[in-house]
Amino acid sequence: MTETSQAQFAEALHGRMATYQFLARLFRVEVDQELYDILTAMKFPANTGNDLVDEGYRLICDYLSNAPEDVLTQLAIDYVRAFIGSGNDGYSAAYPFESVYTSPKRLMMQDARDEVLVLYRAAGLDKQDSWKEGEDHLALELEFEQILGQRALEAFQDGNEDSCFNLLIQQRNFLEDHLLAWYPMMAADLEKFPRTDFYRGLGRLTLGFLRSDLDLLNEMLVEEDDQTVAVALEA
Amino acid sequence: MTEKMEVFELDDDFDPMADVSSDELQDDEEMDALSNDYMAPIPDADKSVIPPKREVSAEERIAQLIVGLPGQKFRLLQAIDACRETRTLDELCASMEAAFPVQKTVFDAPQIVRLLAEAGAIDVQEVPLETADDQPESADADFIQVKPVSYNLYTASAAGLAAVEEGSGERVVLDMLGAEEDRYLPLFKQVLEMTAADGGCTAKELDLAISTNPICAEPRRYAGYFMNLLENTFAIQWTDAWSITETGRSVLQSDIFA
């Protein structure tokens, strides 16, 4: 791997890690003043080559450009409308839990939660006491990808390529087995329940990013002779 | 030792479905429904229809808003009154905070403004922002950024001003006092005078002064009775102590207590 391609590889790892962190934050709790200030100051990519990502960023940016004066209150209301809802039939919101979308009766704390909990613990992670929701919450699954991405980046920078690529394989498996196995269904619900383009945009952005990240991971990991080896990103 | 008595015996042959005759279970489908997990039926599901949207006039919406937020009534009316001249949100919020500096409420000024705008008490005019560096973005720009495209100007609507006229001002207090028995007027005056002192006065001071007055003996009245009536007409307000408002001052100087 040349120095240029190494830098590009590290940059790609850093970029996807940052995006997972960004998305996890948006799904975890409502937008607060600190995050709002960041959102209004940041530059959103406009031509990523992924229509869903571009559309998602554009919707978020347009909403914030035309935001009402009490934007934080409106976003907080829409957060509840989008992710919590007011009904108890399991079809009143885009519930951000894998169990809801993978259990027959749309219940929380089902097998999917147990599965991801095992994976978190295998990675030496446990939820903080302050987190009162299930471990299969979308924000936690995205944060798990972020942490694995951060570890992969650190391993790559330390010259430990084997460890880096093992971590990338873990991320791809988690993406295929969990996030992409259920999030598309939630993304469909996120088209229906929010009233602001902010959360509609977030739904599309996340779906587009997860799909493009799988493509990126597949590109990074090429199977040759039964061994997973890395190829540098083409310039 | 007492003799052991057999009172109960286990009925191994008990059949919970025995009382349900086979005629009542008409087909397999019904049997399946009984054996499957219980799903609560939605009663009268066919009647569960969303009623058509009802158009409500601005007057009615403003009245509902005021009734729905009794603790914010005079803040709502003050905000409308402040919009007699067109204002930006910052100007309006500053005016509201100057009029009601002590606010222990979850309704901040921008929320009050939004509620009033939704009720039709104030009209909103959207003004596009025109800045010198406002260049149109090319379609193939690599990045986009949040750029506020407009700001709002607020002006009181006719319905809003009518609500102000009806719900606040010296006349409302005078009407209230006029509806009360004349013998209570000195007590109302005393409350207004005590709350007009620098820094206002406490509820305890008012209670000691008013509740012990012989006029309050029959029927038994307490200071809270007079304070409530004056507060509900915005002659006095609580700002860490009970204090008189401008409306209350003008009532105090009026002829009604002469």
B108, B140, B146 member nearest A47 (Cβ): B140
Residue of B nearest to A60 (CA): B146
Chain B residues 67-96 with a CB less than 8 Å from chain A: 89
How many angstroms away from the CA of B118 is the closest CA of chain A?
12
Is B46 exposed, middle or buried (CB count within 10 Å of its CB: 0-12, 13-18, 19+)?
exposed
Q: What pLDDT does residue B53 have?
A: 83
Alpha carbon distance A194, B193 (integer Å): 54
Least confident of A119-123, B97-101, B201-205, B250-254: B97-101
Distance CA B63, CA A83 (A): 33
Distance of CA A81 to the CA centre of its chain: 20
CB contacts, 8 Å: B152 with chain A: 69
Structure tokens at B223: 């200071």
Strand, coil or helix: B94: helix
Tell me whether residues B140 and A45 touch, CB distance under 8 A: no
Q: Do A44 and B145 touch (CB under 8 A)?
A: yes
**End-to-end Cα, chain B, rounded Å:** 95
Total residue length of chain B = 258
The DSSP code sequence of B53-69 is P----HHHHHHHHHHH-
Chain B residues within an 8 Å CB radius of A68: 114
Summarize the confidence of residues B117-131 as an average pLDDT: 90
Answer with the residue of higher pLDDT: B86 or B48: B86
For position B150, what pLDDT does the model report? 87
pLDDT, tens digit, for every residue of A65-124?
998 888 998 999 999 999 998 877 788 899 999 999 998 888 889 999 999 999 999 999
How far is residue A126's CA from residue B171's CA, in Å, rounded to a whole number? 65
Q: Is A42 on the interface with B (CB under 8 A)?
A: yes
Q: Is the pLDDT of residue B41 over 80?
A: no
Q: How far is B143 from chain A (nearest CA, A)?
A: 5
Query: In chain B, what percentage of residues exceed pLDDT 90?
Result: 60
* B149 part of contact set with chain A, CB < 8 Å: yes
E strand residue ranges, chain A: 43-45, 221-224, 227-230
Q: How would you write the pLDDT of chain A (235 residues) with one tens digit per residue?
A: 677 788 989 999 999 999 999 999 999 999 999 999 999 999 999 999 999 999 999 999 999 999 888 899 899 999 999 999 887 778 889 999 999 999 888 888 999 999 999 999 999 998 888 999 999 999 999 999 999 999 999 999 999 989 999 999 999 999 999 999 999 999 999 999 999 999 999 999 999 999 999 999 999 887 433 444 455 444 3
Chain B residue at shortest CA distance from A36: B146
Residues of chain A in contact with residue B108, where contact means CB-CB under 8 angstroms, are 70
Would you say B240 and B253 are in contact if contact means Cβ atoms under 8 Å apart?
Answer: no
Q: Do B114 and A70 touch (CB under 8 A)?
A: yes
ipTM summary value: 0.83
Cα distance between residue A180 and residue A200, in whole Å: 18
- Which residues in chain A have their CB less than 8 angstroms from residue B111's CB? 70, 73
- Cα–Cα distance measured from residue A10 to residue A20, given in angstroms and rounded to the nearest whole number: 16
The pLDDT of residue B1 is: 42
A105: CB partners within 8 A, 6+ apart: A90
Q: Which of B151, B225, B238 has the alpha carbon at shortest distance from B188?
A: B225
Rounded distance between C-alpha atoms, residue A162 and residue B242, angstroms = 73
Q: Find out whether A83 and A94 touch, Cβ atoms under 8 Å.
A: yes
Smallest CA-to-CA distance from B114 within B94, B89, B150 is with B89
Amino acid A83: pLDDT: 96
Chain B CB within 8 Å of residue A64 CB: yes
Q: Is the pLDDT of residue B197 over 50?
A: yes
Nearest C-alpha of chain B: how many angstroms from A62? 7
Residue A70 is nearest to which of B111, B142, B150, comparing CB atoms? B111
Interface test with A, best of B146, B147, B149 (most A CBs within 10 A): B146
For chain A, how many residues are written? 235
Q: Is B89 left (phi over 0), alpha (psi -120 to 50) or beta?
A: alpha
Q: What pLDDT is stored for residue A233 in this prediction?
A: 46
